[in-house]
Structure 1
Amino acid sequence: MVKRLEYPIAKTAENMALRKDGVVTVFYRVPNTPITITDTDKKRKHKVTVEQVIKKLEKYHFFEVDLVPKDFLLSEKAKDFERDLAVDCQKIGKQTLERTVKVLTEEMEIPYEYEWLISITIEKNLVRENLKDAIKNQLNDIAENMANLLGFEVETVSNWYEDYEEVEAVIYQLLSPLKAKRLTNEELYYHQALQYMMYVPHMKEEVLANREMANITDVVFRMPEKGILEFSSIYGTSYISILPIGQFQRTIFNGFHMGELLQRLNFPVWLKLKGEFINKTRLNGEMGRSNNRYRNIMNEAYNTDTVQQDRILMGAYSLKDLMKKVGNKEPLIKFGSFVIVAGSSIKQLKQRRQSVLTYFQDMKVSVFEARSDQPYLFQSLLYGQDLQKTSRKWNHLVTSKGFAELMLFTTTRSGNRVGWYIGRVDNRLTAWDNVQEAVKGSKNLVLFNATVANKEDIAGKATKNPHIIITGATGNGKSYLAQLIFLLTSQQNVRLLYIDPKRELREHYQKVINQPDYAKKFPERKKQIESFNFVTLDATIKYNHGVLDPIVILEKENAQSTAKNMLLYLLRQATEIELNQTTSLTNAISEVLERREAGEVVGFNHVIDLLCKDEDRKVVEVGEYFKAIIRNSILELAFSDGNVEGLSYNERVTVLEIADLSLPKADSDNISDHEANSICLMFALGAFCKHFGERSDDETLEIFDEAWVLMQSSEGQAVIKSMRRVGRSKYNTLGLVTQSVHDAENEDDSTGFGTIFAFYEKAERKDILKHVGLEVTEKNLEWLDNMVSGECLYYDVYGNLNRIAIDNIHPDIDPLLKPMKQTKSSVLENKYAS
């Protein structure tokens, strides 16, 4: 059977749609309110806001709320993101993005994300008009109806929308607590077209290329079997089933967050809510008749000594409650609720349909398959259609508060709109067996771009703070994520500095890329790793002497202050400093810097030489002391004759390994000579890192792995603090990878971290919740305890907070992230796992 559908909308203008019956419907996109699934208090406040907004729509009579699984546009996003790739990484960067699209599309068919829409009807009687215009419009309506009966179509004036602009502006203001945005003409057309392309792969640009209303319905529509609709167009074929939601159990309606629960399914579903504010006068008669019917049934049950069914008792109670609300003049809403399931094949559709039916059955909510009703249900649910009489057998009656209980306009998305794929949002409250299962259980993709927080004018961004912190216990995945972000971001047009105190990256990377199989399979990744500038701060290697020489690596002003601070610190460890010694130090540094500026090859060693040649014997003693403690110590890293290259600012990607660095704890009273030398070196290292981030307007990212090594000392904290303050003004992002959430705290620094990844640390459960802004409750603690290794809490720049499962899908990156090999013991342990 082939059926031709009648489309209700005739014309559109921006967010306004003129229906064929002359009524106008206005459309808005409601930005998703980010609410963590365990945040009960925020959910309660959000429902109050929704209730207040919905209540104000009573005068407009009809409205519709839609949850739409919109195409994630992964391919388009990847193509656009290519513009952000570095010149030297064009090939490998494109391969990474193309593989992302390929793998995720093969798994999901159509990667998607959810969007909320609300549309409201503006009837003609709401448009202001004088008596003359009213009579004229009434005559026009009569003439138009006569013309339609005779088979003629009356042409609509081109500026029809002008009469409705004033009312639309009022509605837009009413929706402002939800931060609603008017749909553009393109968006309105696209959403209309999506009604006929549910679960059909397409390119958005192709759909929008010719925005003729006739193209929207250019599909072949048939019912291959009862309960299933088939749509075929130039873009492809898909199958859908519309499932009306019947009876809600009253005991669960309060707190039945359907809008949230549907998003937890691991396939896309559409939710349509067609609402109508009802006529209370007509309702009084219906309630009276129903009340008499319930009374007669209950009296009969009492007289015959029959146990009354729970359903009858609940119905009577509900009716009394309704009568009370009508008496209190509360607005009442009659609405239909419909879940639409789609698939690329009939088999897939049936599996998904059964999953939805079981899902609701477990919650004791009636859902009907409506096998024979599918064509007219689809027709009645099109945009622009009011609540139809044909679907009233599935309608529900609630107050605005009851309607808000459905938890509308929220989502559990995380991450950036464009960026590198790093995992999935885990919407489950309980624990998975492992992170792989968590990934499979979610289709909610997480993209990440480390430099986004530095950008201005990004819609919805909740922070201007660019910095990132990754915390958690050893073995839970924090370094894995840090290195994944590092390798992905290294393909962008960004200058990177990775501080590696554990000295793991160079050795591991070299070992991987030099394996014959790897080099053969992934030549471009091997080439990229070989282009990294690996620097090891190891004083036992003579080649490294002077790489941190402040005279060489810093500009004059920074070199002056850094060199002076280093020497004064070393001197304070040995003796009291006299004024003439300080003066001589300052003069010697200034002289060497001037000589270098004049073109002479000089370095920090020449400052010591000048002190040794000073006329004042006490100054000479200072110079000789410095020579003695520098020789054969890690201080040799910071002293040279000026003929070394020093740490380079020109290399785009640098991995800086630190050898033999030993910093004392901040509260330590006894500091060894080696610890003092390490602290002195931190002055130079900190100055280099700070200068790396601020010396140009290029985007920069510094990642400090195992940052706790620095944070345990006051000098290390000073380095981090100075880096955090470079921040947005210089397009710099700092990433800290550390064990404790307390490493993010600093009484003297309010800049904080705009992006947080918090992995599990049993000893800091309560602190982790406070760190990400959640209350310490049993529910939140249990949710945190249910994280498996490889999962973390992610607070993004938009204020979204969710549990995410980290996922790497690139075989050329995977071995670089896994220095720990699987042992025979671990294989056997897994073999006999229950």
Structure 2
Amino acid sequence: MGVLKTPIKTMMGNLLLTSTGDVWAFYRIQSTSIPKQNEKVVDSYKKNWKQCLEELTDYQDVHFMMYPQEFRLNERLEDLYQDVAMDAEAMATYYMDETVNLLEQRLGRLTKNDFILGVRLKMERINVDAELKENVLSLFSGVTDTIVNLLGWEQHVSASFFEQFREAEGELANVVAMVGGVKLTERELIYVNRFHFLRGLDHDVSEEMDHASPEAITNTMIDPTTPSVLHLHSDEDDGYISFVVVDECHHNMAGSELFYEAQSLPFPVEIDIKAQVESKTKTKTNVNLKKQQLRESAKEQNMIGDETDASVATSDYLVRHLQDEIKKDDVHMINWIAVLIVDGKTKKACLNRAKAVKRHMKSAGMICRVPVADQLLLFYQSLPGKRLDLTHRNWLQKTTQDGVAENFFAVNADVGSKVGYFIGWIDRFDKHTDLAAAIQSSRDPIFYHPFLANQQVKGSKTRSPHVLITGDTGNGKSFLAKLLFLYITMMDVKCLYIDPKKELRKWIRKAMVHPDVKKDYPLFVEHLKTFHFITLDAEDEENWGALDPISFLPPMQAKEMVEMIISQVYSFKGKDDVHTAFLKAITTVIEQKEKGYQVGTTHVIKALTAHEEPAVRKAGAFLAEVTADSVMKLCVHDGSNDALSLDKRISIVEIEHLDLPEATDSIESYTNAQLKSSAVMYALGKYCELFGKTKEERTAEFMDEAWMITANTTGRKVEKQMRRVGRSYNNALFFISQSTKDALREEESGNYGVAFAFDEPNERPDVLTWMNMEATEENIEMLEDMYQGQCLMKDYYGRTAKMSVECLFDEWASAFETVEASAVASAEEKYL
């Protein structure tokens, strides 16, 4: 590679000028989240990149970079702090700090992958002033030492030099826009160059961007004297890096997906590919030579009586295929070298990671090597602005544009929010022994903010803040719902949790009275004490009428809801006279309410029992009996008790003695008690709709066992109205149910901005469709293999990923458990 030089001389905007007079343009490629198992989407993405590379072929030199940028979790959580409620500041501060501590303890340095594309502009297409160019190049005389430092800019290069490239760069920017490319700012370009000298070293990204100058980019000592690694020393830190070279790929590159595969490693990995287009003439000459060599090899084997070796036959087929391909005008051969860079605080740690890269990439079908003596050469070869040196052919790959596209550049598995609370880990659809193994193998944390969907965030595919959480019983949906609820209670949000099973109080109390929790987590216990529990128990007369529609609903809605509640226990079909009398009675009672009388739904029934028509009186007598001494007393009363009115910031509403049917039960099979319980749920759903209609404040409602509401047409109507609230109000509905069927109705497909789908054996194809995944056998098997606590998440950007739910805090988890392990269950796990 000749004398080692740092190529960069100066830069302006996204343009970089090298010591040899080349001008490169650099772009950030907005990463795309694609579930790897969505084959059609994957193929479409690669096809798009192939088309882009065909356009870039004319530029000859291309540089692909994926580097692990600092995640800056502290800064993200500081931004999130703006949404914290005043009465929860102390607790929120503590748990935000704990989030940083625990994740850094787990992962070490938190990073996210950034994707940069560099392209060398063609000088012959630009009318550069000859005298100006000569003057600029005459300035360049500095040579970089192998163990230190750059001389920096000998002299300022005028802006007029770069202006001559703006039109050509604009044309290139339009090409790169095909794959989501955005110009780097000069500040960003300085950092990208600086990063090559800070790999694995502690540094503050903002500080480096704010204070770095082109002259300071190489302010790092590089010691190459130790085999297989480089030792870096900066003012702040020191560490080791190692370049792992891709030596052999798949014959046709299909499915290699280098960039995606490397991201699944449990530590940060950088990837650097330098590519150079080969001329058609040279390609044809090389192909013809290779074809002749293969024929001679086959001929020699046949002459001695051997059959043609399989590898020779395969190579001959590939060469013939390549000959046909390069006859096309837009197909070119590209030479490229790919390296994966790892770091470590010690040489041993660094080399262990290098070995792990080799093992992992081998399982993906690629053979990698760790060069012993060429680490420094590879360091300089990877620097921005450095052309691929074809004299060093040891690790050279030769493919057409579609072969390069197979590397799956700028694809990740991101899901969730950039700013939000930690809720779990991305699982890249790998096989694991259990949930704990899936969590430990991931370094992709998922953060979620519940109130961004309707904030018109750039890139968002929805304006709905509502969340759907579905899945079969026991898979973990209640655990996730309670985790989200507890995070939201720390926000400046008025929140309501409907808990028909009365689970939450039991486990929160258990956490509050636990001596270790009280001692070690006083802020958590004090926060739990602010939760306002309301138990709607029909056996307590003080609760009667708490959900009476006439007491808490506006007139028109009250009439509709009374009719819906009564229709659960009485059929008006074929009884028009009775139905008419019933509606008139509701109107009369509501008018009395408007005049200030103390009335309720009981007075509607009394009006029927006093009606002149025998059939109406008979119906009234029946309804009086049905509603007496039952759970329906919560909805049918005389107005003497206050209706449900929540003015607390955090409320949990429980309903005691509800007989809820299973989600799979048909309405025809409902018992009388189940029908009455359904009526109460509908009234409660209507209350929740009103709860969210407060424009002055943000509200969140968690509707557990929500499938009860959608069991029939009238219930679905209430649910639909509840979801509509979120469109014009700052209201988020968390709909927790066992089925996705309601969400799959076409007219309602846009009502849930975020969805979490746990496995539901009877609905796997529907679940996959709803979650923007292909309903293939492979994906159906993936759902079947998910562990308790794993689900698919679809975020408001339309991205889908498989996730492992985790609560970082043991004291929280103790309040979420829905099943208490028995002694025998614990013993079961003890034996091999």
TM above 0.5, yes or no, is yes
Of 77-86 and 743-752, more deviation after overlay is shown by: 743-752
Q: Which residue of 2 aligns with 1:355?
A: 356
- 1:143, 1:453 → 2: CA distance? 54
- 2:678, 2:761 → 1: CA distance? 31
Q: Which residue of 2 aligns with 1:657?
A: 654
Aligned residues: 815
Structure 2 vs 1, CA of residues 733 and 40 (structure 1 numbering), >3 Å: closer, same or farther? same
- 1:316, 1:627 → 2: CA distance? 89
For residue 454 of structure 1, what is the amino acid of its counterpart? Answer: N
- 2:593, 2:142 → 1: CA distance? 99
1:577: Cα distance to partner? 2.8
For residue 780 of structure 1, what is the amino acid of its counterpart? Answer: N
- 2:588, 2:430 → 1: CA distance? 65
Q: Which residue of 1 aligns with 2:191?
A: 190
Q: What is the CA deviation profile of residues 769-805 of structure 1, one whole-angstrom value per residue up to 9, with x for unaligned ones? A: 2332333322222222221221112222222222211
- Contact 1:682–1:719 at 8 Å: present in 2 too? no
Q: Which residue of 2 aligns with 1:519?
A: 518
- Contact 1:608–1:627 at 8 Å: present in 2 too? no
Structure 2 vs 1, CA of residues 633 and 327 (structure 1 numbering), >3 Å: closer, same or farther? closer
1:81: Cα distance to partner? 1.0
Q: Which residue of 2 aligns with 1:599?
A: none
Q: Which residue of 1 aligns with 2:788?
A: 789
- Contact 2:67–2:270 at 8 Å: present in 1 too? yes
- 2:177, 2:268 → 1: CA distance? 28
- 2:4, 2:94 → 1: CA distance? 44
- Contact 2:507–2:814 at 8 Å: present in 1 too? no
- Same amino acid, percent of matched pairs: 26
Of 546-555 and 215-224, more deviation after overlay is shown by: 546-555
- Contact 1:424–1:804 at 8 Å: present in 2 too? yes
Structure 2 vs 1, CA of residues 163 and 827 (structure 1 numbering), >3 Å: closer, same or farther? same
Structure 2 vs 1, CA of residues 5 and 689 (structure 1 numbering), >3 Å: closer, same or farther? farther
For residue 346 of structure 1, what is the amino acid of its counterpart? Answer: K
Q: CA RMSD in A?
A: 3.2
Q: Which residue of 1 aligns with 2:477?
A: 478
What is the correspondence of 1:594-633 to structure 2 with a 5 Å cutoff? Answer: 594-595=595-596, 602=598, 604=600, 630-633=627-630
- Contact 1:454–1:732 at 8 Å: present in 2 too? no
Structure 2 vs 1, CA of residues 697 and 238 (structure 1 numbering), >3 Å: closer, same or farther? farther
Structure 2 vs 1, CA of residues 708 and 216 (structure 1 numbering), >3 Å: closer, same or farther? same
Q: Which residue of 2 aligns with 1:142?
A: 134
Q: Which residue of 1 aligns with 2:631?
A: 634
Residues 1:724 and 2:723 are matched in the alignment: yes
Q: Which residue of 1 aligns with 2:174?
A: 173
1:734: Cα distance to partner? 1.7
What is the correspondence of 1:335-734 to structure 2 with a 5 Å cutoff? Answer: 335-363=336-364, 365-389=366-390, 391-430=392-431, 432-456=432-456, 458-555=457-554, 558-559=557-558, 562=561, 576-577=577-578, 582-595=583-596, 602=598, 604=600, 630-638=627-635, 644-662=641-659, 668=667, 674-675=673-674, 677-734=676-733
Q: Which residue of 1 aligns with 2:257?
A: 257
Q: 3-state SS of the aligned residue for 1:266? A: coil
Structure 2 vs 1, CA of residues 554 and 21 (structure 1 numbering), >3 Å: closer, same or farther? farther
Of 20-29 and 5-14, more deviation after overlay is shown by: 5-14
For residue 529 of structure 1, what is the amino acid of its counterpart? Answer: L
Q: Which residue of 2 aligns with 1:162?
A: 163
Of 241-250 and 286-295, more deviation after overlay is shown by: 286-295
For residue 387 of structure 2, what is the amino acid of its counterpart? Answer: D
Q: Which residue of 1 aligns with 2:210?
A: 209
- Contact 1:549–1:603 at 8 Å: present in 2 too? no
Q: Which residue of 1 aligns with 2:13?
A: 14
Q: Which residue of 1 aligns with 2:799?
A: 800
- 1:390, 1:508 → 2: CA distance? 68
For residue 276 of structure 2, what is the amino acid of its counterpart? Answer: E
Structure 2 vs 1, CA of residues 613 and 711 (structure 1 numbering), >3 Å: closer, same or farther? closer
Q: Which residue of 1 aligns with 2:233?
A: 232
Q: 3-state SS of the aligned residue for 1:98? A: helix
Q: 3-state SS of the aligned residue for 1:744? A: coil
Q: 3-state SS of the aligned residue for 2:343? A: strand
- 1:483, 1:798 → 2: CA distance? 24
1:304: Cα distance to partner? 5.1
For residue 734 of structure 2, what is the amino acid of its counterpart? Answer: G
Of 201-210 and 477-486, more deviation after overlay is shown by: 201-210
Q: 3-state SS of the aligned residue for 2:596? A: helix
1:366: Cα distance to partner? 3.1
Of 672-681 and 711-720, more deviation after overlay is shown by: 672-681
For residue 445 of structure 2, what is the amino acid of its counterpart? Answer: L
Q: What is the CA deviation profile of residues 194-215 of structure 1, one whole-angstrom value per residue up to 9, with x for unaligned ones? A: 2222223333222222131122
Q: What is the CA deviation profile of residues 272-305 of structure 1, one whole-angstrom value per residue up to 9, with x for unaligned ones? A: 1111111223444445555555555555555555
For residue 439 of structure 2, what is the amino acid of its counterpart? Answer: V
Structure 2 vs 1, CA of residues 308 and 235 (structure 1 numbering), >3 Å: closer, same or farther? farther
What is the correspondence of 1:765-780 to structure 2 with a 5 Å cutoff? Answer: 765-780=764-779
1:531: Cα distance to partner? 0.7
1:692: Cα distance to partner? 0.9
- 1:492, 1:161 → 2: CA distance? 49
- Contact 1:425–1:442 at 8 Å: present in 2 too? yes
For residue 636 of structure 1, what is the amino acid of its counterpart? Answer: K
Q: Which residue of 2 aligns with 1:764?
A: 763
- 1:288, 1:682 → 2: CA distance? 77
Q: What is the CA deviation profile of residues 610-663 of structure 1, one whole-angstrom value per residue up to 9, with x for unaligned ones? A: 959999899999988876655433333245666655333422221111223346
Q: 3-state SS of the aligned residue for 2:629? A: coil
- 2:304, 2:311 → 1: CA distance? 18
Structure 2 vs 1, CA of residues 25 and 83 (structure 1 numbering), >3 Å: closer, same or farther? same
- 1:804, 1:150 → 2: CA distance? 51
1:324: Cα distance to partner? 4.0
Q: 3-state SS of the aligned residue for 1:809? A: coil
- 1:268, 1:303 → 2: CA distance? 53
Q: What is the CA deviation profile of residues 743-763 of structure 1, one whole-angstrom value per residue up to 9, with x for unaligned ones? A: 434466444433222212333
- 1:103, 1:672 → 2: CA distance? 50
Q: 3-state SS of the aligned residue for 2:798? A: coil
- Contact 1:246–1:365 at 8 Å: present in 2 too? yes
- Contact 1:10–1:20 at 8 Å: present in 2 too? yes
1:105: Cα distance to partner? 0.3
- Contact 1:663–1:679 at 8 Å: present in 2 too? yes
Of 100-109 and 584-593, more deviation after overlay is shown by: 584-593
- 1:542, 1:199 → 2: CA distance? 67
1:103: Cα distance to partner? 0.7
TM-score (norm 2): 0.90
For residue 466 of structure 1, what is the amino acid of its counterpart? Answer: P
Of 288-297 and 437-446, more deviation after overlay is shown by: 288-297
- 2:54, 2:163 → 1: CA distance? 26
Structure 2 vs 1, CA of residues 207 and 557 (structure 1 numbering), >3 Å: closer, same or farther? farther
Q: What is the CA deviation profile of residues 563-595 of structure 1, one whole-angstrom value per residue up to 9, with x for unaligned ones? A: 576578878669743756644531331232242
For residue 140 of structure 1, what is the amino acid of its counterpart? Answer: L
1:558: Cα distance to partner? 4.3
Of 107-116 and 268-277, more deviation after overlay is shown by: 107-116
Structure 2 vs 1, CA of residues 650 and 255 (structure 1 numbering), >3 Å: closer, same or farther? same
Structure 2 vs 1, CA of residues 440 and 705 (structure 1 numbering), >3 Å: closer, same or farther? same
TM-score (norm 1): 0.90
- 2:332, 2:556 → 1: CA distance? 71
- 2:710, 2:77 → 1: CA distance? 37
For residue 819 of structure 2, what is the amino acid of its counterpart? Answer: M
For residue 495 of structure 1, what is the amino acid of its counterpart? Answer: K
Q: What is the CA deviation profile of residues 142-199 of structure 1, one whole-angstrom value per residue up to 9, with x for unaligned ones? A: 3444454699945311344322222222112212331222223333233222222222
Residues 1:816 and 2:812 are matched in the alignment: no
Q: 3-state SS of the aligned residue for 2:172? A: helix
